[in-house]
Structure 1
Amino acid sequence: MAVTDPVDIRLLAALADLGKAAVHELAAKVGMDPREVAYRLVALSGSGLPLLVGVESDPQGLRAAIAGAPPSWANRPPQQFPAPQQFAPPSHPVPQQPAPPMPPPAPGPGPQGVPSGPYNVQGAPSGPYTVQGAPSGPYTVQGAPSGPYNVQGTPSGRYPGPPPRPQFTPPPVPVDPVVSTWGLPQTASWARGDEPARPAGTGKKGKLGEVMETQGLEGEQLTVQLLEVQDPADYLFSAAGYRLEAGERAVVVHTEITNRGSIPFASLPDNYLELLAADGSAIGKAPVSLTSRPPHKIGVKPGETLGGHTVYVLPDATRVVSVRWSPRPEPDERTLTWSIEDQ
């Protein structure tokens, strides 16, 4: 099925990036009303796209919400919809036109009248019947050579193909003596002598519970705090209706972000919040959210403080040693890392 609605295309593109997300998260990402997003997703799911729309609930909360409803409502029969119209069969038999006779089968490639099996035609010899004039050996077309046929003008060897194009080599660019001596601007080579330069990609480091300051990609003045790491959190994962595979465990991380400047932070606060294993590998968040642990929302206004929970699914044998926050996929000097090994 081809999707032509530009709103549906933008909605499906955002869902393809997330993989799996709640309706309100997807609506916040594309800036739409959650009810319209849910309506469009249900319509697209029924059109044959590889899309499954689900619902997550708190069973106890739902039972408490419907406890005050009148008992008669629970016994009310569901609304009956008219059955689709069907065409009734005719009251009297309709005369059928006789089928036209089938034409006789076309004769096979062999001589007409030659039996295919051991059937013997009257007057034919009891042995194998040989068509008169047919050769006894393999039939060879007259004039065809016995070896491979070569097309006239085609070489017998491998086709060499077109000649290679000459590759363009740019001329060497003269190096500025200032740059060769001091390095490019905005790099560690331009750091002041009284301020030691921090290695690229390290950022700030702290421990669980500490608040650290950093900047966003647009110069936003932010503070991020790692409040809690629940490892394992399998019971929270199962309570939300999800199922872990054998050899997996769930981890839930609670962080809080504050916008101290005047520039709004327009990204998802935990978009690049990762777990770091003992072997140095990074573990990205899972595309799920828990009802009991609300996720982060997109955007932090100036002067606003928001918190949220991030879910991870990883192998049981993986040992998590730290949590890393960054405003972009690759770590840089704005990256924050909290050690949780000593907690």
Structure 2
Amino acid sequence: MAVTDPVDARLLAALADVGKAAVHEIAAKVGLDPREAAYRLVNLSANGLPLLVGVESDPNGLRAALAGAWQQGRPQPQHGPAPGQPPQPHHPGPPPHPAGPQGAPSGAHPVQGTPSGPHPVHGVASGPYPPPPQQQWPAQTAPPPQPPQPTQPPPDPVMSTWGPPQSALWARGDQPPTVGPPPPPPAAPAPVRTGRPGDVLETEGLEGERLAVQLLEVQDPADYLFAAAGYRLDDGERAIVVHTEVTNRGNTPFASLPDNYLELLTADGGVIGKAPVSLTSRPPHKIGVQPGETTGGHTVYVLPEGTRIASVRWSPRPEPDERSLVWSIDD
């Protein structure tokens, strides 16, 4: 594809100088609005130019923002009496009375459809009841016989020991019920994130992909491979080629470039990113790893000749986190 638009040409020239950068950084270099720069880069990529326009996010942060917006639009519960009904006055309840038939306590009873508790009757607040009047009997006259009072059945030993059926006490009535949720299951051991060249290390992608990454080879130096591909090293520089394989062991496709954030860590704590070149004799990684698929590729690095490499690090995002993998190569 031939690039005829001068703005597109300036945009591609700035991108070719750095190899990899954020959209807003490229837009600032050429003096464009980031939205226009992103629009132009997407169109150029769709028309066959060798560039990839990506978007990176924090999935947990986005879900939290969406959840906050949903909570703001959710109606709040209303408290207090229903519209059109006066508030119920509070009155002290009647004193306790002996149990009546079937073990039910005498006194105020709840009314169907209203909260249980004492209630006023015909506008008169309930309160202590006056004692019943004592009947006077003529001298030497026996009171009339009283009807037999129903007796309470003896307590069921099963209920008193084990409690009501289908309850926690039914399982163990001789112990008090436990309060609170059950303890969480023991956590699974954390996967190993460090190793040596040749080891397969497991991790997760940004969307929960189950990935296994293997460091197969670190070719240092690889100046002759770099020169055979038509590139030239400056004085005091050397090239390194790293060969890795990525296996998707989950059900979610991995949609990124597998070596996008494959970096070299130097002995003095420095970080070296990959060079924007590919070798004909050592094919690079391709974008995406489907579930059950294993793909491999080579990554090229250009660094000062005297730099000592200590390890290789793979991460699913630019900033390393708990999902990063590290292979130590410093003998």
TM-score range, shorter chain: 0.3 to 0.5
Q: TM-score, normalised by structure 2?
A: 0.47
Q: Using CA pairs below 8 Å that are at least 6 residues apart, which structure has the higher relative contact order? A: 1
- Normalised by the size of structure 1, how large is the TM-score? 0.45
Q: Which has the larger radius of gyration?
A: 2
